[in-house]
């Protein structure tokens, strides 16, 4: 992984994402796929989602993160 500024430390970045109000209140957050891949990598991101019981979907270059354990239903 390339050298990143301290504020882009993978664990600090994830703590920032998951301490946002949306995450704290069971809402929805969105992050760019390229940022996740560059800063933390997909596998570490998936592990953190799994640890928290959250889920995410990928669409059009973004991850949409559901910061709760409620069921997901796909609507057309």
Q: Does residue 57 lie within any of the structural domains?
A: yes
12-16, 31-35, 37-41 — which is least confidently predicted?
12-16
Contact 39, 48 (CB under 8 A): no
The count of structural domains within the chain is 1
Q: Does residue 73 lie within any of the structural domains?
A: no
Q: Does residue 13 lie within any of the structural domains?
A: yes
Look up the domain containing 52 and give its range. 6-66
Q: Does residue 55 lie within any of the structural domains?
A: yes
Q: Does residue 17 lie within any of the structural domains?
A: yes
Contact 2, 9 (CB under 8 A): no
Query: How far apart are alpha carbons 65 and 13 in whole angstroms?
Result: 15
Q: Look up the pTM and report it.
A: 0.85
Q: Does residue 74 lie within any of the structural domains?
A: no
Contact 48, 17 (CB under 8 A): no
Return the pLDDT at 8: 77
């Amino acid at each position: 992984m390339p050298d990143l500024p301290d504020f882009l430390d993978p664990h600090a970045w994830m703590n920032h994402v998951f301490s946002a109000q949306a995450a704290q209140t069971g809402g929805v957050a969105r992050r760019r796929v390229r940022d996740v891949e560059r800063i933390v990598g997909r596998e570490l991101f998936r592990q953190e989602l799994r640890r928290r019981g959250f889920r995410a979907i990928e669409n059009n270059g973004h991850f949409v993160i559901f910061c709760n354990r409620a069921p997901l239903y796909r609507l057309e």
